[in-house]
Structure 1
Amino acid sequence: MYDMATRKRALALVAQGRSLNSVSKETGPSRAAIRSWQTRVEPLDGRARPCPRCGDTATEVEHPCAYSYLLGLYLGDGCISSFKRGVYSLRIACADAWPGLIDACAEAVRIARPANKVFRVQGQGCQYVTAFSKHWPCFFPQHGPGKKHERRIALEPWQREIVDTHPWEFVRGLIHSDGCRITNWTTRLVGGERRRYEYPRYFFINLSADILGLFTGALDQVGVEWKQPNSRNISVARRASVALMDAHVGPKY
């Protein structure tokens, strides 16, 4: 009776913590129908592809470059929520202003768990890129109760190895989530005439001191000079460092 797009949207809204009643009113299907889709829609836990991080059988992540980017996105604007029957939803908020970023985020999620469907749910001024899996806490052991800036955030050794091997993708994910490239300007008096000068710079803003430390550690590794104007802000303004960032990260798109 309902097409797959309606089913996917309903499940994605439930994954955001919405009640079955409110989702039913917004999308049309009954609560019973939505409840049945939670088990009848295509496998949510990626059974066709075993988790590479589970238990004693843990192996390397299949696509570490894409994972490094996704890790940056998750640490900036992502969260993991418990769903039902041991299934979790990964949700990453992406601003509507950057459609290319939304596509890149969805692709990174798809690469991480290729057997799982990736949903895009429209919010106010943003889209939530969402996917279900039993194994998101395996991929992101930083998951835990409360806000990220209120608890310790540290990389596991296997994550540290990936970030050290693919630092630019990690930096790019963090900038795409909680960073920006802007153009500043100032004036100088030259020959009695005041002239305006413009110069680009990058900012990264996050409330977590641990995440700021992971960002600046990656910048140090790739040779980017940075400053910390305040407790939650990292600035990259030196010309050579901005050029490096432009070559490997660039503005959001």
Structure 2
Amino acid sequence: MHPPQMRAQARALRARGHNIHAVARTLSLPYATVWHWCVDRPEPVKRGTELRCFRCRSDVENPTDPAAYAYLLGLYLGDGHLAVSPKVPVLRIACTATYPDLIDACEAAMLAVLAARVQRITKQGCVSVESSGVHWPCLLPQHGPGKKHERPIVLADWQRPIIEQHPGDFLRGLFHSDGCRIANRVTTRGRHYIYPRYMFVNESADIMRLCQWSLDLLGVAWRMNRRNSLSVARRGAVATLDRHVGPKS
């Protein structure tokens, strides 16, 4: 069997304009073999998503839009699902139908990161924003069988620097999926107070730790008010999240 390097060399010569006879003569190969490599089974043309998948390109180290990637990763960890089938993987993120801006932001992030086309499927109480793409598993290595809280969720080595540089965008994705900004009402000594508070609820201890880590990166004070629930209530901390996250809309 001929090594892959020889096949690649034959295709390279053919691409530079040499005919099949010349390539076969240069490489001392049978005409039929060169014809099969260069004509019958030419090198597959890289499609759009492959060219945009920075994990599959040797000349690109980071996503073109790392902020969009951090946001999309947060959305995926919250309300996303990557269906990997024998055909083409499909990324689905469920967005509450009452937040049209969130749906637009989710679609924009998919298009910025990888997708060539995004579709919206209306379901009971939500809109599923979906994109098919062979390379979604490359960019979302946290996918796997079963529910997220029943399997380990750990960032890959190449993902951590992206989140470290864009913790606010990552948190925006987390809070836009499994979080909220609410008006907290408190009565003290007969006086009523209303102040904003952010809440994040997730059953996965690993995802909760990623949220805590990202808040720490921004210097945002937080506390766990339940096993699966995180609260950000201090005035300065809320103000910081308002700059990076903001309420859903």
Residue 155 of structure 1: aligned partner? 155
- What code does the residue aligned with 1:240 have? G
Distance in 1 (CA, whole Å) between partners of 2:214 and 2:50 is 34
Tell me the percent identity.
51
CA shift for structure 1 position 55: 7.8
Secondary structure at the aligned position of 2:158 is classed as helix
TM-score by length of 2: 0.78
Is 2:224 the counterpart of 1:222? no
Is 2:85 the counterpart of 1:89? no
Q: 1:76 aligns with which of 57, 68, 78?
A: 78
- What code does the residue aligned with 1:93 have? A
- What code does the residue aligned with 1:106 have? E
Deviates more, 1:48-57 or 1:164-173: 48-57
Secondary structure at the aligned position of 1:207 is classed as coil
- What code does the residue aligned with 1:204 have? F
- What code does the residue aligned with 1:145 have? P
Q: Which runs of 4+ in 1 moved over 4 A?
A: 55-58
Q: 1:66 aligns with which of 68, 88, 94?
A: 68
Deviations 1:199-234 (A, max 9, x none): 110000000000000000000110100000111100
Instruction: Classify 1:47/1:106 alpha carbon distance in 2 versus 1 (closer, same or farther; 3 Å).
Output: closer
5+ residue gaps, structure 2, are: 1-46
Q: 1:51 aligns with which of 50, 53, 62?
A: 53
CA shift for structure 1 position 58: 6.5
Distance in 1 (CA, whole Å) between partners of 2:102 and 2:66 is 19
Distance in 2 (CA, whole Å) between partners of 1:168 and 1:75 is 15
5+ residue gaps, structure 1, are: 1-44
Give the structure with higher Rg (CA). Answer: 2
Instruction: Classify 1:48/1:213 alpha carbon distance in 2 versus 1 (closer, same or farther; 3 Å).
Output: closer
Deviations 1:136-170 (A, max 9, x none): 11000001111110000010111100000001000
Question: Equivalences for 1:105-144 in 2 at 5 Å?
Answer: 105-114=106-115, 116-144=116-144
- What code does the residue aligned with 2:220 have? V
Residue 7 of structure 2: aligned partner? none
What's the Cα RMSD here?
1.6
> Do the aligned partners of 1:224 and 1:244 also contact (CA within 8 Å) in 2?
yes
Secondary structure at the aligned position of 1:144 is classed as coil
Instruction: Classify 1:50/1:242 alpha carbon distance in 2 versus 1 (closer, same or farther; 3 Å).
Output: closer
CA shift for structure 1 position 48: 6.7
- What code does the residue aligned with 2:241 have? M
Secondary structure at the aligned position of 1:49 is classed as helix
TM-score by length of 1: 0.77
Residue 244 of structure 1: aligned partner? 240
Instruction: Classify 1:66/1:186 alpha carbon distance in 2 versus 1 (closer, same or farther; 3 Å).
Output: same
> Do the aligned partners of 1:81 and 1:89 also contact (CA within 8 Å) in 2?
yes
Aligned residue pairs, count: 203
CA shift for structure 1 position 184: 1.0
